[in-house]
Amino acid sequence: MRTRVFGRLGWPVSEIGYGLWGMGGWSGSDDAESLTSLHRSIELGCTFFDTAWVYGQGRSEKLLGQTIRSHPGARIIAATKIPPKNMRWPARADDTVDETYPPEHIREYTEKSLENLGVDVIDLQQFHVWNDAWTDDDGWKRAIDDLRTSGLVRAVGISVNRWEPVNVIRALDTGLIDSVQVVYNIFDQAPEDELFPYCEAHGIAVIARVPFDEGTLTGTLRPDSSWPDGDFRNLYFAGDRLGASVERAERLRPDIPAGMTMPEIALRFILANPDVATIIPGMRKRAHVEANLAASDGRPLDAAVAQRLRGHRWDRSVRIS
């Protein structure tokens, strides 16, 4: 596993990290299987783990905490997220900061996450939604300052709303934010336009999330794929979105070099961008951990292939968390 530097914080992080949403809330999760997969990832050199309080209301954080305790010698970076007080994803343009991130809420949910993780300090605490209209509010700034000075968090990041990669730049201008987490994959290339150059210039670490477009870029979806009631993917792929996604994935197949899988090329596309500090594929199965972490072998993506992948950019604007 190769490492990269996590922005101005200077932390070495595995260039492929671990997304823990699925194991907290998606249908078909099995805690024993998730723990086996987390354990295997550490054996293979993974050091960056992304969870959130809302992923099973602490379930995912507790699985990560258990994993951390069973590897006392490993330097694991645990990142989690504060839900908005109104529990609404994504933030709406008219949600006020009092409805989402009043200072006492930031403190309360950090304490909940500390308890779920079973740690004294959270490496990276992130805002789970963001709206740049909240930037001028003093409350959230005071709250994160208190968390840092009282030693409850080491660093603070923002997880940007899906398909709104620049709705964070004003917050980054405050100098108080150490990292951004953004959807970036073969389809979602928009963060390259403004966000990545800004982050590069200011030493803000970039966490690339949703590398497989919630499953489309694994190549395993079918036009009639469905999930049990309550599974987020029913919303994400609602209406004609499943058909359009499968069609896009099929269009990609001819550009995948022989011997390479779709998940592998999806990760190699992101790895080819030095602006990204770490990628966090969602994984519950050990086989997925082994396949995905193997992509960190330093072999560059062929330039002609990379160029063809650029043509698969797909700009979308539906508001989904």
Residues near ligand NAP (CB under 6 A) are 19-22, 50, 81, 128, 159, 181, 209-215, 218, 220, 263, 280-285, 288, 291-292, 321
Q: Which is nearer to ligand NAP, 50 or 142 (CB)?
A: 50
Q: Which is nearer to ligand NAP, 39 or 146 (CB)?
A: 39
**8 Å CB contact between 178 and 124:** yes
The half-sphere exposure of 11 on its side-chain side, counting CA atoms within 13 A, is 23
Q: Which is nearer to ligand NAP, 22 or 103 (CB)?
A: 22
Q: How many Å apart are CA 229 and CA 232, to the nearest integer?
A: 9
Residue where the block lists tokens 């905490």: 65
Q: Give min distance, CB of 137 to ligand NAP, in A.
A: 21
Exposure b/e, 172-191, CB count within 10 A at least 16 = b: beeeebbbbbbbbbbbbbbb
CA distances from 211 to 1, 267, 281, 282 (A): 18, 7, 6, 8
Q: Which is nearer to ligand NAP, 146 or 231 (CB)?
A: 231
Which alpha helices (DSSP H) does 20-161 contain, by range?
22-25, 31-43, 59-69, 97-100, 103-117, 138-149
Q: Give min distance, CB of 313 to ligand NAP, in A.
A: 16
Q: Give min distance, CB of 39 to ligand NAP, in A.
A: 14
Q: Give min distance, CB of 61 to ligand NAP, in A.
A: 11
Q: Which is nearer to ligand NAP, 30 or 111 (CB)?
A: 30
Q: Which of 123, 52, 124 shows the shortest CA–CA distance to 83?
A: 52
The residue at minimum Cβ distance from ligand NAP is 282
Q: Give min distance, CB of 284 to ligand NAP, in A.
A: 4
